[in-house]
Structure 1
Amino acid sequence: MDLGTNTFHLLIAEGESHHYHEIVHITEAVKLGEGGINKGYIIPRAFARGVSCMQRFHDLIEANKATKVRAIATSALRNASNGHDFIEAVKDKTGIAIEIIDGEQEAGFIYQGVKLSGCLSAKTSLVMDIGGGSVEFILGNADKITWKQSFEIGAARLMDLFHRTDPIPPASVEALNLYLEDKLTDLFTATADTEIDKLIGSSGAFETFAGLIAAEKGEPFNLKNIQSCDFDEEELLALTGKIVQSTHLQRAANTGIIPVRVDMIVAASLVTRFMMQRLHIHQVSMCTNSLKEGVLAGMLA
């Protein structure tokens, strides 16, 4: 289980780490960070949704007779003053012991998940995972990680800080970009003397980008059938530009954007554009694997 700020994921599988069969793979829009993401507190209705979701996950785990179970919690629970209360409530009602991991561990698991997909090459890539609470950046290739770090600048946090009116006004976009410039100094230092072959977006918003571009072109798109895809730079920039200029109603009416991502896709688009332009990256790929696949690889190994 990957217990994120916006979504909780359950993946039940069997087999070997490089060749496994998915039995259950579901995502629940829990919105644990709703209303309190930048206050460091899980509000009561989000708390209740989270516990209820974990009870459903427990029932599926029992029904499928899973023998090894791990529940990994990230930014929202890591930073919430009542995060341990949530962990105790889940343990009491389900018996599931939630592990809170730090940003470095999170980035490591994401790398393992992306590596498992075969997206990495001998050249240096920058892996980016845009979550609701944090964004992880990993520099590395198919053999090793050369640098990794987690930053508390996730889409839910950015939306709370900058996306107060819709569509997001140009002044807010400029303020968000200045904020990223300030918060990501460690990343810019790490990449200063590094030639980055491509940016790999790990699951989340990048899956939405890929689906929307395919829909615009009238092409079939099914995440179950792909593990990665390459973007055309101009198509990706054009799409993210449209998203940034769109209204909530326009995004909500688009069946290619899942409800939990309708508003946060704006911040994710801005982060993606900022990274491409700031680091002069022209090749961008999407990888469907992320943290949960990285954790699973270790469990199956």
Structure 2
Amino acid sequence: MKAAVIDLGTNTFHLIIAEISATNVQIIYKTNVPVRLGQGRINENIIIPEAFERGIETLKNFKQKIDKYQVQQTLAIATSAVRSAANGIDFVESAKKNADIIIDVIDGDKEAEYIYKGVKATGTINGTSLIMDIGGGSTEFIICNDKELLWKKSYNIGAARLMQAYFHSDPINELDKSAIINHLNNELTDLKEACILHKPDHLIGSAGAFETFASMILKETHIENIKSAPIEFTAYNSLSEKLITSTHAARQNMPDLIKLRVDMIVIAAILTNHILSLSEIKQISLSTYDLKMGVLYSLSELKS
């Protein structure tokens, strides 16, 4: 069976088409578009008109690809930006009417479950691990092992939300950094308790910013061709320091740092550093599989 998954992220819309059987998921096409659905007013829970239009146009283009590949089942999954927006339902209705795409707006718990399934499929989980998926609108945390999911939660601390609320200096100054860290301390008390209880010793970053970290550290590795990779701890610390202390202009000239993430990567580094400190974890890995691969593997399970 050919299946398509559309992941309507706050920053990027992804389309992935795969041939699915009970024993295998074979990717035959994938693309992504930096729609920036959370542009401008994400913390006011509004999709602004320009972002709304970009999103619908992107879905129309995705539908053409889906038809071209004669896909039999399509799942379009919307997360934080759509589920929290006052006009999110308008976007869902417009997608159905104008792009013939039916969107399933999922909650944070379901999002975390799909992320776990995607990461698990890479074989990266060893022992008790903490999976972290930094989105634009929300960030998901999953404590797990390779047998089961032990704890999960989605928080509205995505990179776009934090950037719009707190990132007002260039390079980011101590005042802005302190405001972010104070906010994280207030938000993440139950994550800290869960880490004390379950003692994860491995942080697995799901796609997104962690692909950027890995690309900048593992320069000779083509991230798009791998399922997972270790990220050396001291190399990550050096990179995060470089990113946090750099200016916008300096980051624009850094190799392997895509335009969409030039500023959000600073937030991602501050957030990741905070999680490493909170959990006392010293081992980091990248999983290139995330929510969309988790959806495909869920479909594969249904066929078995």
Q: TM-score band (shorter)?
A: over 0.9
Are 2:86 and 1:81 equivalent residues in the alignment?
yes
Partner of 1:118: 123
**1:299 aligned onto 2:304:** no
Aligned partner of 1:198 in structure 2 is 202
Residue ranges of structure 2 left out of the alignment (5+ in a row): 1-5
Q: Which residue in the other structure is 2:99 paired with? A: 94
The answer for the alignment partner of 2:132 in structure 1 is: 128
Which residue, out of 63, 88, 109, partners 1:58? 63
Q: By how many angstroms is 1:299 displaced?
A: 1.7
Alpha-carbon deviations, 1:163-184, whole Å to 9, x = none? 1121110121122111101100
TM-score (norm 2): 0.95
- What code does the residue aligned with 2:207 have? S
- In structure 1, how many angstroms separate the alpha carbons of the residues matched to 2:7 and 2:151? 23
Q: Percent identity?
A: 44
Whole-angstrom CA distance in 2 between matches of 1:2 and 1:170: 35
Which amino acid counterpart does residue 140 of structure 1 have in structure 2?
Answer: C
Q: How many residues align?
A: 296
The reply to whether residue 37 of structure 1 matches residue 70 of structure 2 is no
Structure 1's unaligned 5+ residue stretches are: none
Kindly report the root-mean-square deviation, in angstroms, between the aligned alpha carbons of the 2 structures. 1.1
Structure 1 stretch displaced more, 16-25 or 90-99: 16-25
Determine helix, strand or coil for the equivalent of 2:121. helix
Aligned counterpart for 1:177 among listed residues 169, 177, 181: 181
Partner residue, 1:108: 113
Normalization by structure 1: what TM-score?
0.96
Report if aligned partners of 1:68, 1:299 keep a CA contact under 8 Å in 2.
Answer: no
> Is it true that 1:289 corresponds to 2:289 in the alignment?
yes
8 Å Cα contact 1:198/1:285 also seen in 2: yes
Partner of 1:249: 249
* Alpha-carbon distance, 1:18 to partner: 5.3
C-alpha distance in structure 2 between counterparts of 1:238 and 1:131, whole Å = 23
- Give 1:214's aligned amino acid: L
Q: Structure 2 CA distance, aligned partners of 1:224 and 1:130?
A: 18
Contact 2:25–2:297 (CA<8 Å) still a contact in 1?
A: no
Secondary structure class of the residue paired with 1:276: helix
Please state if 1:269 is matched with 2:269.
yes
Alpha carbons 1:167, 1:247 under 8 Å: kept: yes
- SS where residue 117 of structure 1 aligns? coil
Does 2:151 correspond to 1:150?
no
SS of the equivalent of 1:70 reads strand
Q: CA deviation at 1:15?
A: 3.2
- What amino acid maps onto 1:76 in structure 2? A
**1:17–1:297 contact (8 Å) kept in structure 2:** no
